[in-house]
Structure 1
Protein backbone atom coordinates (compact mmCIF):
# COMPACT_ATOMS: atom_id res chain seq x y z
CA UNK A 1 0.00 0.00 0.00
CA UNK A 2 2.83 2.38 0.91
CA UNK A 3 4.52 1.50 -2.39
CA UNK A 4 1.31 2.31 -4.31
CA UNK A 5 1.01 5.69 -2.58
CA UNK A 6 4.64 6.44 -3.45
CA UNK A 7 4.07 5.62 -7.14
CA UNK A 8 0.91 7.73 -7.28
CA UNK A 9 2.73 10.63 -5.64
CA UNK A 10 5.54 10.37 -8.22
CA UNK A 11 3.06 10.35 -11.11
CA UNK A 12 1.33 13.42 -9.71
CA UNK A 13 4.62 15.29 -9.53
CA UNK A 14 5.48 14.26 -13.10
CA UNK A 15 2.08 15.43 -14.37
CA UNK A 16 2.48 18.75 -12.56
CA UNK A 17 5.90 19.27 -14.14
CA UNK A 18 4.56 18.49 -17.63
CA UNK A 19 1.62 20.87 -17.16
CA UNK A 20 3.89 23.71 -16.07
CA UNK A 21 6.15 23.09 -19.04
CA UNK A 22 3.20 23.11 -21.42
CA UNK A 23 1.99 26.42 -20.04
CA UNK A 24 5.26 28.26 -20.54
CA UNK A 25 4.80 30.86 -23.32
CA UNK A 26 6.64 30.24 -26.59
CA UNK A 27 9.02 32.99 -27.71
CA UNK A 28 7.99 34.45 -31.09
CA UNK A 29 10.40 36.39 -33.26
CA UNK A 30 9.03 39.18 -35.43
CA UNK A 31 10.20 41.71 -38.12
CA UNK A 32 8.53 44.43 -40.34
CA UNK A 33 8.14 46.07 -43.90
CA UNK A 34 7.01 48.99 -46.11
CA UNK A 35 7.98 50.38 -49.50
CA UNK A 36 10.73 52.83 -50.44
CA UNK A 37 10.52 55.78 -52.76
CA UNK A 38 12.33 55.40 -56.08
CA UNK A 39 15.97 56.35 -55.91
CA UNK A 40 16.10 56.24 -52.11
CA UNK A 41 19.69 55.38 -51.19
CA UNK A 42 18.66 54.19 -47.74
CA UNK A 43 16.20 51.79 -49.32
CA UNK A 44 18.88 50.42 -51.63
CA UNK A 45 21.11 49.88 -48.61
CA UNK A 46 18.23 48.12 -46.88
CA UNK A 47 17.84 45.82 -49.89
CA UNK A 48 21.51 44.85 -49.70
CA UNK A 49 21.18 44.26 -45.99
CA UNK A 50 18.18 42.00 -46.52
CA UNK A 51 20.11 39.91 -49.06
CA UNK A 52 22.91 39.44 -46.54
CA UNK A 53 20.45 38.71 -43.75
CA UNK A 54 19.17 35.67 -45.62
CA UNK A 55 22.43 33.88 -44.82
CA UNK A 56 21.82 34.20 -41.10
CA UNK A 57 18.05 34.66 -40.96
CA UNK A 58 16.28 33.09 -38.01
CA UNK A 59 14.03 30.10 -38.78
CA UNK A 60 10.52 31.12 -39.70
CA UNK A 61 7.52 29.82 -37.82
CA UNK A 62 5.88 26.76 -39.28
CA UNK A 63 2.97 27.49 -41.59
CA UNK A 64 1.02 24.68 -39.90
CA UNK A 65 0.25 26.64 -36.75
CA UNK A 66 -3.03 26.69 -34.89
CA UNK A 67 -5.15 29.65 -35.94
CA UNK A 68 -5.67 32.33 -33.28
CA UNK A 69 -8.35 34.94 -34.06
CA UNK A 70 -7.08 38.17 -35.68
CA UNK A 71 -6.38 41.24 -33.58
CA UNK A 72 -7.10 44.90 -34.38
CA UNK A 73 -4.07 46.72 -33.03
CA UNK A 74 -4.09 50.06 -31.27
CA UNK A 75 -1.30 51.97 -33.01
CA UNK A 76 0.45 55.32 -32.47
CA UNK A 77 -1.31 58.36 -33.88
CA UNK A 78 1.57 58.85 -36.30
CA UNK A 79 1.99 55.25 -37.44
CA UNK A 80 4.12 56.21 -40.44
CA UNK A 81 6.69 57.81 -38.14
CA UNK A 82 6.87 54.62 -36.07
CA UNK A 83 7.31 52.52 -39.21
CA UNK A 84 10.05 54.80 -40.50
CA UNK A 85 11.92 54.91 -37.20
CA UNK A 86 11.83 51.17 -36.43
CA UNK A 87 12.16 48.63 -39.26
CA UNK A 88 10.99 45.89 -36.87
CA UNK A 89 7.90 47.72 -35.60
CA UNK A 90 5.31 45.48 -37.25
CA UNK A 91 7.18 42.33 -36.35
CA UNK A 92 7.10 43.14 -32.65
CA UNK A 93 3.64 44.74 -32.67
CA UNK A 94 1.84 41.66 -34.01
CA UNK A 95 2.98 38.62 -32.06
CA UNK A 96 0.79 35.55 -31.56
CA UNK A 97 -2.55 35.85 -33.37
CA UNK A 98 -3.04 34.49 -36.87
CA UNK A 99 -2.79 38.08 -38.12
CA UNK A 100 -3.29 41.67 -37.04
CA UNK A 101 -5.16 44.51 -38.72
CA UNK A 102 -2.82 47.49 -38.35
CA UNK A 103 -3.70 51.13 -38.93
CA UNK A 104 -6.94 50.20 -40.67
CA UNK A 105 -5.10 49.39 -43.91
CA UNK A 106 -2.66 46.51 -43.36
CA UNK A 107 -2.82 42.78 -42.70
CA UNK A 108 0.26 41.57 -40.78
CA UNK A 109 0.93 37.87 -39.97
CA UNK A 110 1.32 37.16 -36.27
CA UNK A 111 4.45 35.05 -36.73
CA UNK A 112 7.84 35.83 -38.29
CA UNK A 113 7.54 36.27 -42.06
CA UNK A 114 10.30 38.57 -43.27
CA UNK A 115 8.66 39.55 -46.54
CA UNK A 116 8.08 38.40 -50.10
CA UNK A 117 11.43 36.58 -49.94
CA UNK A 118 9.81 34.22 -47.43
CA UNK A 119 7.27 33.01 -50.03
CA UNK A 120 7.89 30.42 -52.75
CA UNK A 121 6.08 27.68 -54.60
CA UNK A 122 6.54 25.25 -51.74
CA UNK A 123 4.83 27.34 -49.05
CA UNK A 124 2.73 29.92 -50.94
CA UNK A 125 -0.51 28.13 -50.11
CA UNK A 126 -0.02 28.79 -46.41
CA UNK A 127 0.00 32.55 -47.06
CA UNK A 128 -3.03 32.74 -49.36
CA UNK A 129 -5.49 33.32 -46.52
CA UNK A 130 -3.71 36.54 -45.56
CA UNK A 131 -4.52 38.00 -48.97
CA UNK A 132 -8.11 36.80 -48.55
CA UNK A 133 -8.21 38.58 -45.18
CA UNK A 134 -7.07 41.80 -46.85
CA UNK A 135 -9.88 41.42 -49.37
CA UNK A 136 -12.39 40.83 -46.55
CA UNK A 137 -11.43 44.20 -45.08
CA UNK A 138 -11.71 46.08 -48.39
CA UNK A 139 -13.80 44.00 -50.76
CA UNK A 140 -15.44 46.46 -53.14
CA UNK A 141 -14.31 47.10 -56.71
CA UNK A 142 -12.72 50.41 -55.67
CA UNK A 143 -10.08 48.57 -53.62
CA UNK A 144 -6.58 47.38 -54.46
CA UNK A 145 -4.50 44.94 -52.40
CA UNK A 146 -0.72 45.49 -52.45
CA UNK A 147 2.50 43.81 -51.40
CA UNK A 148 5.97 45.23 -52.05
CA UNK A 149 9.21 43.36 -52.82
CA UNK A 150 12.66 43.42 -51.27
CA UNK A 151 14.25 46.85 -51.62
CA UNK A 152 10.95 48.75 -51.75
CA UNK A 153 9.90 48.75 -48.13
CA UNK A 154 11.05 50.01 -44.74
CA UNK A 155 9.77 47.12 -42.63
CA UNK A 156 11.03 43.54 -42.27
CA UNK A 157 7.71 41.79 -41.79
CA UNK A 158 5.31 40.78 -44.55
CA UNK A 159 2.26 43.00 -44.70
CA UNK A 160 -0.53 43.43 -47.21
CA UNK A 161 -1.99 46.86 -47.83
CA UNK A 162 -5.73 47.13 -48.50
CA UNK A 163 -6.54 50.56 -49.89
CA UNK A 164 -8.89 52.40 -52.23
CA UNK A 165 -7.11 53.32 -55.43
CA UNK A 166 -6.69 56.86 -56.78
CA UNK A 167 -6.83 58.24 -60.33
CA UNK A 168 -3.52 56.60 -61.20
CA UNK A 169 -4.86 53.30 -59.94
CA UNK A 170 -8.03 53.70 -61.98
CA UNK A 171 -5.90 54.15 -65.11
CA UNK A 172 -3.89 50.98 -64.36
CA UNK A 173 -7.10 49.07 -63.73
CA UNK A 174 -8.58 50.13 -67.08
CA UNK A 175 -5.42 48.96 -68.84
CA UNK A 176 -5.60 45.64 -67.02
CA UNK A 177 -9.23 45.19 -68.03
CA UNK A 178 -8.39 46.00 -71.65
CA UNK A 179 -5.55 43.45 -71.61
CA UNK A 180 -7.22 40.66 -69.64
CA UNK A 181 -10.96 40.58 -70.27
CA UNK A 182 -11.86 37.35 -72.09
CA UNK A 183 -8.36 35.85 -71.75
CA UNK A 184 -6.90 32.89 -69.88
CA UNK A 185 -3.46 32.50 -68.34
CA UNK A 186 -0.74 35.04 -67.64
CA UNK A 187 -0.11 37.93 -70.03
CA UNK A 188 2.80 40.36 -70.24
CA UNK A 189 1.92 43.71 -68.69
CA UNK A 190 4.40 46.59 -68.53
CA UNK A 191 3.68 48.86 -65.58
CA UNK A 192 7.03 48.74 -63.80
CA UNK A 193 9.78 46.14 -63.98
CA UNK A 194 8.88 42.94 -65.81
CA UNK A 195 5.16 42.46 -65.27
CA UNK A 196 2.70 39.58 -65.66
CA UNK A 197 -1.05 39.77 -65.19
CA UNK A 198 -3.92 37.28 -65.19
CA UNK A 199 -7.67 37.32 -64.57
CA UNK A 200 -9.53 34.77 -62.46
CA UNK A 201 -13.18 33.92 -61.84
CA UNK A 202 -13.86 34.61 -58.17
CA UNK A 203 -10.93 35.15 -55.83
CA UNK A 204 -7.87 32.88 -56.30
CA UNK A 205 -5.11 31.78 -53.95
CA UNK A 206 -3.08 34.83 -54.96
CA UNK A 207 0.37 33.91 -53.64
CA UNK A 208 0.04 30.37 -55.00
CA UNK A 209 -0.97 31.66 -58.43
CA UNK A 210 1.91 34.15 -58.58
CA UNK A 211 4.45 31.59 -57.36
CA UNK A 212 3.33 29.26 -60.15
CA UNK A 213 3.70 32.05 -62.70
CA UNK A 214 7.30 32.60 -61.60
CA UNK A 215 8.31 28.94 -61.70
CA UNK A 216 7.91 28.12 -58.01
CA UNK A 217 11.03 29.96 -56.83
CA UNK A 218 11.35 32.74 -54.27
CA UNK A 219 9.12 35.79 -54.77
CA UNK A 220 11.76 38.10 -53.23
CA UNK A 221 11.66 40.69 -56.00
CA UNK A 222 7.97 40.38 -56.89
CA UNK A 223 5.36 42.97 -55.91
CA UNK A 224 1.68 42.08 -56.22
CA UNK A 225 -1.44 44.17 -56.78
CA UNK A 226 -4.92 42.63 -56.78
CA UNK A 227 -8.01 44.24 -58.32
CA UNK A 228 -11.62 43.11 -58.56
CA UNK A 229 -13.64 44.03 -61.65
CA UNK A 230 -17.10 43.64 -63.12
CA UNK A 231 -16.09 45.14 -66.48
CA UNK A 232 -15.43 41.80 -68.18
CA UNK A 233 -18.94 40.32 -67.76
CA UNK A 234 -19.81 37.19 -65.82
CA UNK A 235 -19.91 38.80 -62.38
CA UNK A 236 -16.98 39.80 -60.19
CA UNK A 237 -13.57 38.66 -61.43
CA UNK A 238 -10.12 39.19 -59.96
CA UNK A 239 -7.12 40.63 -61.79
CA UNK A 240 -3.65 39.95 -60.39
CA UNK A 241 -0.62 41.99 -61.47
CA UNK A 242 2.85 40.79 -60.48
CA UNK A 243 5.76 43.15 -61.18
CA UNK A 244 9.45 42.67 -60.40
CA UNK A 245 11.88 44.97 -58.58
CA UNK A 246 9.55 47.95 -58.22
CA UNK A 247 6.57 49.29 -56.30
CA UNK A 248 3.55 51.10 -57.72
CA UNK A 249 1.83 51.64 -54.36
CA UNK A 250 2.29 55.40 -54.17
CA UNK A 251 1.11 55.96 -57.72
CA UNK A 252 -2.09 53.91 -57.42
CA UNK A 253 -3.39 54.16 -53.86
CA UNK A 254 -5.44 56.89 -52.26
CA UNK A 255 -3.71 56.88 -48.86
Structure 2
Protein backbone atom coordinates (compact mmCIF):
# COMPACT_ATOMS: atom_id res chain seq x y z
CA UNK A 1 0.00 0.00 0.00
CA UNK A 2 1.29 3.45 -0.90
CA UNK A 3 2.12 5.46 2.24
CA UNK A 4 0.11 8.63 1.72
CA UNK A 5 -2.02 11.06 3.70
CA UNK A 6 -4.75 12.81 1.76
CA UNK A 7 -5.95 15.99 3.45
CA UNK A 8 -8.77 18.15 2.13
CA UNK A 9 -8.45 21.60 3.69
CA UNK A 10 -10.00 25.02 3.12
CA UNK A 11 -7.56 27.90 2.94
CA UNK A 12 -7.98 31.47 4.17
CA UNK A 13 -9.27 32.44 0.73
CA UNK A 14 -12.08 29.88 1.00
CA UNK A 15 -10.67 27.57 -1.68
CA UNK A 16 -10.69 23.81 -1.05
CA UNK A 17 -7.28 22.22 -1.55
CA UNK A 18 -5.84 18.74 -1.43
CA UNK A 19 -2.66 18.22 0.56
CA UNK A 20 -0.63 15.07 0.20
CA UNK A 21 2.05 14.08 2.68
CA UNK A 22 3.98 10.93 3.41
CA UNK A 23 2.43 8.28 5.61
CA UNK A 24 3.89 6.23 8.43
CA UNK A 25 3.86 2.49 8.73
CA UNK A 26 2.64 2.02 5.15
CA UNK A 27 -0.87 3.30 5.97
CA UNK A 28 -3.09 5.41 3.77
CA UNK A 29 -5.22 7.85 5.74
CA UNK A 30 -7.98 10.25 4.79
CA UNK A 31 -8.87 13.38 6.72
CA UNK A 32 -11.54 15.81 5.53
CA UNK A 33 -10.73 19.03 7.41
CA UNK A 34 -13.50 21.27 6.20
CA UNK A 35 -14.51 22.27 2.75
CA UNK A 36 -17.61 21.20 0.88
CA UNK A 37 -16.25 21.24 -2.63
CA UNK A 38 -17.68 18.09 -4.19
CA UNK A 39 -15.08 17.88 -6.97
CA UNK A 40 -12.22 18.12 -4.47
CA UNK A 41 -13.78 15.40 -2.32
CA UNK A 42 -14.20 13.10 -5.29
CA UNK A 43 -10.58 13.73 -6.22
CA UNK A 44 -9.50 12.81 -2.69
CA UNK A 45 -11.41 9.54 -2.90
CA UNK A 46 -9.90 8.81 -6.33
CA UNK A 47 -6.40 9.29 -4.92
CA UNK A 48 -7.20 6.98 -2.04
CA UNK A 49 -8.48 4.28 -4.35
CA UNK A 50 -5.20 4.53 -6.26
CA UNK A 51 -3.40 4.19 -2.93
CA UNK A 52 -5.27 0.95 -2.27
CA UNK A 53 -7.89 2.22 0.16
CA UNK A 54 -11.53 2.28 -0.91
CA UNK A 55 -13.10 4.64 1.59
CA UNK A 56 -16.57 4.20 0.13
CA UNK A 57 -16.33 0.43 0.44
CA UNK A 58 -14.98 0.72 3.97
CA UNK A 59 -17.83 3.05 4.97
CA UNK A 60 -20.36 0.69 3.39
CA UNK A 61 -18.99 -2.34 5.25
CA UNK A 62 -18.73 -0.43 8.51
CA UNK A 63 -22.31 0.73 8.11
CA UNK A 64 -23.42 -2.87 7.61
CA UNK A 65 -21.65 -3.98 10.80
CA UNK A 66 -23.14 -1.12 12.76
CA UNK A 67 -26.53 -2.09 11.37
CA UNK A 68 -26.09 -5.54 12.90
CA UNK A 69 -25.16 -4.00 16.25
CA UNK A 70 -28.15 -1.67 16.02
CA UNK A 71 -30.52 -4.52 15.13
CA UNK A 72 -29.40 -6.67 18.05
CA UNK A 73 -29.61 -3.70 20.42
CA UNK A 74 -33.20 -3.07 19.34
CA UNK A 75 -34.05 -6.76 19.79
CA UNK A 76 -32.56 -6.67 23.28
CA UNK A 77 -34.57 -3.56 24.14
CA UNK A 78 -37.76 -5.24 22.94
CA UNK A 79 -37.03 -8.23 25.18
CA UNK A 80 -36.02 -6.29 28.29
CA UNK A 81 -38.61 -4.94 30.73
CA UNK A 82 -38.60 -1.17 31.22
CA UNK A 83 -37.08 -1.54 34.71
CA UNK A 84 -34.53 -4.22 33.80
CA UNK A 85 -30.95 -3.68 35.03
CA UNK A 86 -28.72 -2.80 32.13
CA UNK A 87 -31.51 -1.52 29.87
CA UNK A 88 -30.04 1.98 29.93
CA UNK A 89 -26.68 0.54 28.82
CA UNK A 90 -28.31 -1.24 25.86
CA UNK A 91 -30.08 2.01 24.92
CA UNK A 92 -26.72 3.82 24.87
CA UNK A 93 -25.32 1.07 22.63
CA UNK A 94 -28.26 1.61 20.27
CA UNK A 95 -27.71 5.37 20.22
CA UNK A 96 -23.98 5.01 19.56
CA UNK A 97 -24.65 2.57 16.70
CA UNK A 98 -27.14 5.00 15.18
CA UNK A 99 -24.59 7.79 15.31
CA UNK A 100 -21.96 5.57 13.72
CA UNK A 101 -24.33 4.65 10.91
CA UNK A 102 -25.05 8.32 10.25
CA UNK A 103 -21.33 9.09 10.05
CA UNK A 104 -20.68 6.21 7.65
CA UNK A 105 -23.44 7.52 5.35
CA UNK A 106 -21.58 10.84 5.09
CA UNK A 107 -18.61 9.04 3.53
CA UNK A 108 -20.91 7.33 1.03
CA UNK A 109 -22.07 10.69 -0.32
CA UNK A 110 -18.86 12.78 -0.53
CA UNK A 111 -20.08 15.06 -3.26
CA UNK A 112 -23.43 15.96 -1.74
CA UNK A 113 -23.78 19.58 -0.67
CA UNK A 114 -27.35 19.59 0.62
CA UNK A 115 -28.20 22.21 3.20
CA UNK A 116 -28.36 20.43 6.58
CA UNK A 117 -31.62 20.27 8.47
CA UNK A 118 -31.84 22.65 11.46
CA UNK A 119 -30.25 21.07 14.53
CA UNK A 120 -31.25 21.63 18.16
CA UNK A 121 -27.90 22.33 19.83
CA UNK A 122 -29.09 21.86 23.41
CA UNK A 123 -30.65 18.49 22.50
CA UNK A 124 -27.34 17.33 21.02
CA UNK A 125 -25.49 18.38 24.19
CA UNK A 126 -27.98 16.60 26.45
CA UNK A 127 -27.88 13.40 24.42
CA UNK A 128 -24.08 13.37 24.20
CA UNK A 129 -23.78 14.05 27.94
CA UNK A 130 -26.05 11.06 28.65
CA UNK A 131 -23.87 8.94 26.39
CA UNK A 132 -20.53 9.81 28.01
CA UNK A 133 -21.54 10.28 31.66
CA UNK A 134 -21.47 6.54 32.57
CA UNK A 135 -17.88 6.30 31.26
CA UNK A 136 -16.58 9.11 33.46
CA UNK A 137 -16.41 7.15 36.70
CA UNK A 138 -16.24 9.11 39.90
CA UNK A 139 -13.15 11.17 39.10
CA UNK A 140 -14.62 13.56 36.53
CA UNK A 141 -17.66 15.73 37.18
CA UNK A 142 -19.69 16.65 34.09
CA UNK A 143 -21.66 19.89 34.15
CA UNK A 144 -23.95 21.23 31.41
CA UNK A 145 -24.94 24.88 31.24
CA UNK A 146 -27.48 25.37 28.49
CA UNK A 147 -28.90 28.71 27.45
CA UNK A 148 -32.63 28.65 26.79
CA UNK A 149 -34.31 29.79 23.60
CA UNK A 150 -31.34 29.18 21.31
CA UNK A 151 -31.98 29.27 17.55
CA UNK A 152 -31.41 26.07 15.60
CA UNK A 153 -27.92 25.70 14.13
CA UNK A 154 -27.12 24.92 10.51
CA UNK A 155 -24.90 21.87 10.84
CA UNK A 156 -25.57 18.19 10.22
CA UNK A 157 -26.62 16.62 13.52
CA UNK A 158 -24.36 13.56 13.20
CA UNK A 159 -21.38 15.79 12.33
CA UNK A 160 -22.06 18.01 15.35
CA UNK A 161 -22.44 15.02 17.68
CA UNK A 162 -19.14 13.59 16.47
CA UNK A 163 -17.37 16.95 16.75
CA UNK A 164 -18.57 17.39 20.32
CA UNK A 165 -17.59 13.83 21.22
CA UNK A 166 -14.09 14.33 19.79
CA UNK A 167 -13.59 17.48 21.86
CA UNK A 168 -14.88 15.72 24.98
CA UNK A 169 -12.49 12.80 24.47
CA UNK A 170 -9.56 15.24 24.25
CA UNK A 171 -10.73 17.04 27.38
CA UNK A 172 -11.00 13.80 29.33
CA UNK A 173 -7.50 12.77 28.25
CA UNK A 174 -6.21 16.03 29.75
CA UNK A 175 -7.65 15.10 33.17
CA UNK A 176 -6.15 11.69 34.04
CA UNK A 177 -6.50 12.46 37.76
CA UNK A 178 -10.04 13.77 37.49
CA UNK A 179 -11.53 17.25 37.40
CA UNK A 180 -14.52 19.16 36.08
CA UNK A 181 -15.79 19.01 32.51
CA UNK A 182 -18.25 21.71 31.46
CA UNK A 183 -20.34 21.91 28.29
CA UNK A 184 -21.91 25.30 27.75
CA UNK A 185 -24.12 26.84 25.08
CA UNK A 186 -24.60 30.57 24.52
CA UNK A 187 -26.82 32.66 22.23
CA UNK A 188 -25.58 34.47 19.12
CA UNK A 189 -23.53 37.61 19.54
CA UNK A 190 -22.07 40.01 16.99
CA UNK A 191 -21.25 37.38 14.37
CA UNK A 192 -24.69 35.75 14.61
CA UNK A 193 -23.13 32.40 15.56
CA UNK A 194 -24.31 30.20 18.41
CA UNK A 195 -21.48 29.20 20.74
CA UNK A 196 -20.78 25.72 22.04
CA UNK A 197 -17.95 25.54 24.60
CA UNK A 198 -16.22 22.56 26.17
CA UNK A 199 -14.11 23.51 29.18
CA UNK A 200 -11.87 21.23 31.26
CA UNK A 201 -9.74 21.71 34.36
CA UNK A 202 -6.90 19.55 33.04
CA UNK A 203 -3.20 20.21 32.71
CA UNK A 204 -3.62 22.76 29.91
CA UNK A 205 -1.16 23.55 27.12
CA UNK A 206 1.62 26.07 26.69
CA UNK A 207 1.25 28.50 23.77
CA UNK A 208 3.74 26.62 21.58
CA UNK A 209 1.63 23.47 21.86
CA UNK A 210 -1.79 25.12 21.68
CA UNK A 211 -0.99 26.77 18.36
CA UNK A 212 -0.68 23.30 16.78
CA UNK A 213 -3.67 21.73 18.54
CA UNK A 214 -5.89 21.67 15.44
CA UNK A 215 -3.22 20.33 13.09
CA UNK A 216 -3.79 16.78 11.79
CA UNK A 217 -1.70 14.07 13.45
CA UNK A 218 -0.27 16.49 16.03
CA UNK A 219 -0.46 14.96 19.51
CA UNK A 220 1.40 15.05 22.80
CA UNK A 221 -0.15 11.79 24.03
CA UNK A 222 1.65 8.49 23.63
CA UNK A 223 -1.42 6.77 22.18
CA UNK A 224 -3.08 9.83 20.66
CA UNK A 225 -3.88 10.06 16.95
CA UNK A 226 -3.90 13.85 16.63
CA UNK A 227 -7.16 13.71 14.69
CA UNK A 228 -9.85 14.56 17.23
CA UNK A 229 -9.63 18.36 17.32
CA UNK A 230 -8.83 18.62 13.61
CA UNK A 231 -11.89 16.53 12.78
CA UNK A 232 -14.07 18.66 15.06
CA UNK A 233 -12.81 21.88 13.51
CA UNK A 234 -13.33 20.46 10.02
CA UNK A 235 -16.97 19.63 10.71
CA UNK A 236 -17.63 23.10 12.12
CA UNK A 237 -15.86 24.91 9.27
CA UNK A 238 -17.64 22.82 6.67
CA UNK A 239 -20.92 24.16 8.06
CA UNK A 240 -19.65 27.74 7.90
CA UNK A 241 -18.60 28.09 11.52
CA UNK A 242 -15.26 28.48 13.25
CA UNK A 243 -13.44 26.92 16.20
CA UNK A 244 -11.13 28.60 18.69
CA UNK A 245 -9.12 27.37 21.65
CA UNK A 246 -7.80 28.95 24.84
CA UNK A 247 -5.46 27.09 27.18
CA UNK A 248 -3.06 27.78 30.04
CA UNK A 249 -0.74 25.30 31.74
CA UNK A 250 -2.23 24.14 35.00
CA UNK A 251 -5.52 25.97 34.33
CA UNK A 252 -7.19 23.79 31.72
CA UNK A 253 -8.46 24.28 28.17
CA UNK A 254 -11.57 25.73 26.58
CA UNK A 255 -12.64 24.86 23.03
CA UNK A 256 -15.24 27.18 21.49
CA UNK A 257 -17.28 26.09 18.47
CA UNK A 258 -19.06 29.04 16.88
CA UNK A 259 -21.94 27.54 14.89
CA UNK A 260 -23.98 29.25 12.16
CA UNK A 261 -27.69 29.71 12.64
CA UNK A 262 -29.90 27.52 10.48
CA UNK A 263 -31.29 29.20 7.37
TM-score by length of 2: 0.24
The structure whose residues are more often helix, as a share, is 2
Q: Which one scores higher on RCO, CA 8 angstroms, separation ≥ 6? A: 1
The structure whose residues are more often strand, as a share, is 2
TM-score by length of 1: 0.25
Larger Rg: 1
